[in-house]
Every structure is written in structure tokens, then in C-alpha cells.
């Protein structure tokens, strides 16, 4: 008998729809989709691999997105520190010989890459660190450049999260090399280059790299998400340089592109849209040192629902940044609340990232330390 965890995601959607007493038409209406779209999803004729869409369906069906993904609860994360296995990724990136062995069918490689993207969007970093060396080997034996670029991008993003920015820069550079002369693939790789350079404190280089990639993209709505994401990376880099005018200008340009992007149409896994622009404005304001304005902007975002459709990784990372802003204005309770909320959304964002551990330590050192942060400090090994 097939367990619920082994069912295709479309079958799980159908099962929960029936449990909630909904017809396909009712579910379609609540999602703003057609009945045919729902039918194709449930039959497996249409892939359901975009996290915002999965989350939207989960909200309508009143279940946790992880249930639709076949897991009752998120996989257990390490309590503290970066997960073991980074050396395995380093070894995989240090290989310059061509991977040997039979070619893996493209459909299987794509499935593995899509699974890795979902793992990243859910902030399952411990799982990814273990899986990435094997994924990098598999994509080397697959035809085409797109999946190779995506695998290197995921690798770079995870490494930057875990405080391995130098190694992340190497992975991002590999993504750029794998893209060859393809403007779109090069642009998506440049997003990872910008992230890694910013993490290394090379803000001017990050701004130059992302803006150059954006300028090479042909104009058109089909590339708006990638162009917008590059502009947001450039805006954060400008904020890192202390250039408030340029940061505001670039986020404004990105906002103009956000309206062209459909929420469920994100083949390059950028997460770009109006909510991403709003969050970037707040984070850029924090980087510029205006914590009071950042807190005010955050309060406005919390009154809207759009940001909740962003991946858990994005929301968790944002809340850690917001905790930094509250700490700067001296509001320890709000800083603690943001950290606790981040831990609830994406535990690994708080428990594995060096940046988050630093913020926890700063809040926990204040007297008296808020209860929620005292618990987190214990969980991540900052107290005995």
C-alpha cells in the first residue's frame, strides 16, 4: 500500500480537497485558477513545484505546506551551528576532472534540482549540505547548461547562508562560467555573484556585477523577474556602500518591474515581486543605518498579506534583519519577538546562520534577556 508520503503532490492536493468537502471548481475559484488547471495538477499532468503556489493551495485547504510536500513536519535541524558536510561541498567544487559514469536522464536531474530548490526555499540547509555534493556530480553528467547553472546557484546560496562566502563566491563563479554566453542564464548566475560579494563586504563589486548583468538582458516582461532581482541586489549593494540615493533609485526601478511578474510564474526561482521589493526597501534602510525608518517600514509590511507568500527562507532571513533594526533602536522585546518568529518560520535561519547567532547573542546579553531569546540562546549553544 502506498503511504501518503509517497503520493505525488497532485494526489495529496486531491485527497485534502475531498477531505475539506470541496469540488475542483470550488478549489479553482478560491485559488483564482481554472477547473482545468486544478484537474491537471491533481492528475500530475501539470507540475506543482513553485513554493508560492503550494503555499497558496495549502492556505485554501487549511493544511501546512509540508503536508502537501509529503512531510508531516520539517526535517529535524541541528540545534546549533552550520550543519556538517560543508567540506564535502568544498571537495566537490575542487574537482576539475569531468565527472565519469553514465549520463543521468534529464528528467531525473531536473527532479533532483527542483527538490533542492524546494529544500532551499524551506531553509532545510542540513539536508542540502548532505545532498549537494551528489547533485553537483549528477548535473555534470547531464546535457545542457541550465540545470548546471541552477545547481551551482543553489550551492552558492546555501554556502553564503552558512557563512562560507568565499566558497559561495566560487560556486557563483562556476554558475557564471556554466552559463556561457546565454544572457538569461548569466543574469541568474549574477544574482548569486552579487549575494556572495555582498556577504564578503565587496559592495561596489556586487553593484557593478549585478547592474552589468541586468543591462545585458533583453527588454521584455519574460525576463522582468530576473532583471528586478538583479536591481534589488544592486540596491542592497548600494546601501552597503552608504549610497541612499542610489539604493532608493534602484528599488524604485525594481518596483516598476514587479507589476509585470505573475506570482506563480518564476522559472528562475527568483522570488521576485512587489513583496520582495518591500522587504528589500526595509533591509536596505537597515544597512544604511536608519533603524527607525526600517522599523516603521516593517510595521507597514506586517499589515499586508503579500510577504507571507514568500518562501520560508526569505521570510526567516528578513525577520532576522528586522531583529537587528529593533536592537539598534533599543526595543529588546520586539527584537526578541522577531527572532522567535523567524525561528518558527525557518528554524535553520536562526540556528545555523552565523549572522542570526550574533544577533541572538547581542539580545541575550542585555539584562534582563527576553524569555524567548534566552531559550534560543540555549538552543544554539550560546549559554550553558
What pTM does this model have?
A: 0.78
| Closest C-alpha to 71, from 2, 12, 131, 130 | 12
Residue 367 is predicted with a pLDDT of 67
- Cell triple for residue 189? 548566475
Domain-by-domain residue ranges, the chain?
1-73, 77-180, 203-288, 290-384
Write down the pLDDT at residue 264.
64
Cell numbers linked to 178: 556554466
Give the integer Cα–Cα distance in Å for 319 and 112: 29
pLDDT score for 265: 67
Q: What is the pLDDT of residue 263?
A: 63
In CATH terms, is domain 1-73 a member of 1.10.260.40? yes
Longest Cα separation, the chain: 61
Predicted local confidence at residue 229, as pLDDT = 96
Helix axes 24-31, 51-61, angle to 10 degrees: 120
Average pLDDT of adjacent 10-residue blocks, the chain of 384 residues: 58 87 88 89 80 77 75 45 80 76 81 92 92 91 87 96 94 94 93 96 96 89 89 96 96 92 76 93 95 95 85 94 93 91 92 88 78 79 62
pLDDT at residue 8, rounded to an integer:
80
Amino acid at each position: 500500500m502506498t503511504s501518503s508520503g509517497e503520493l505525488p503532490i497532485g494526489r495529496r492536493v486531491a485527497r485534502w480537497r475531498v477531505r475539506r468537502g470541496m469540488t475542483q471548481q470550488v478549489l479553482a475559484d478560491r485559488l483564482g485558477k481554472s477547473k482545468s488547471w486544478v484537474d491537471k495538477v491533481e492528475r500530475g499532468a501539470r507540475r506543482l513545484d513553485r513554493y508560492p503556489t503550494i503555499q497558496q493551495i495549502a492556505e485554501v485547504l487549511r493544511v501546512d505546506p509540508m503536508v502537501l510536500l509529503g512531510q508531516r513536519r520539517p526535517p529535524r535541524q541541528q540545534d546549533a551551528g552550520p550543519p556538517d558536510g560543508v567540506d564535502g561541498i568544498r571537495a566537490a567544487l575542487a574537482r576539475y576532472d569531468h565527472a565519469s559514469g553514465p549520463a543521468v536522464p534529464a528528467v531525473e536531474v531536473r527532479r533532483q534540482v527542483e527538490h533542492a530548490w524546494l529544500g532551499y526555499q524551506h531553509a532545510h540547509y542540513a539536508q542540502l549540505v548532505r545532498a549537494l555534493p551528489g547533485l553537483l556530480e549528477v548535473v555534470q553528467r547531464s546535457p545542457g547548461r541550465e540545470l548546471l547553472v541552477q545547481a551551482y546557484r543553489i550551492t552558492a546560496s546555501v554556502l553564503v547562508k552558512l557563512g562560507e562566502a568565499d566558497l559561495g563566491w566560487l560556486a557563483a563563479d562556476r554558475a557564471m562560467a556554466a552559463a556561457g554566453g546565454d544572457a538569461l542564464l548569466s543574469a541568474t548566475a549574477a544574482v548569486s555573484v552579487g549575494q556572495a560579494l555582498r556577504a564578503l563586504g565587496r559592495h561596489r563589486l556586487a553593484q557593478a556585477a549585478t547592474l552589468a548583468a541586468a543591462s545585458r538582458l533583453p527588454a521584455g516582461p519574460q525576463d522582468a523577474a530576473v532583471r528586478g532581482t538583479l536591481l534589488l541586489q544592486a540596491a542592497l549593494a548600494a546601501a552597503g556602500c552608504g549610497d541612499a540615493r542610489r539604493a532608493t533609485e534602484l528599488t524604485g526601478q525594481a518596483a516598476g518591474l514587479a507589476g509585470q511578474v505573475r506570482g506563480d510564474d518564476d522559472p528562475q526561482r527568483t522570488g521576485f515581486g512587489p513583496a520582495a521589493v518591500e522587504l528589500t526597501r526595509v533591509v536596505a534602510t537597515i544597512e544604511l543605518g536608519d533603524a527607525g525608518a526600517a522599523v516603521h517600514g516593517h510595521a507597514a509590511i506586517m499589515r499586508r498579506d503579500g510577504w507571507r507568500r514568500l518562501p520560508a527562507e526569505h521570510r526567516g532571513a528578513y525577520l532576522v534583519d528586522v531583529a537587528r533594526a529593533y536592537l539598534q533602536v533599543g526595543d529588546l522585546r520586539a527584537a526578541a519577538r522577531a527572532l522567535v518568529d523567524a525561528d518558527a518560520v525557518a528554524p535553520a535561519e536562526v540556528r545555523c546562520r552565523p549572522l542570526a547567532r550574533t544577533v541572538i547573542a547581542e539580545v541575550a546579553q542585555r539584562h534582563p534577556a527576553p524569555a524567548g531569546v534566552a531559550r534560543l540562546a540555549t538552543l544554539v549553544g550560546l549559554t550553558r
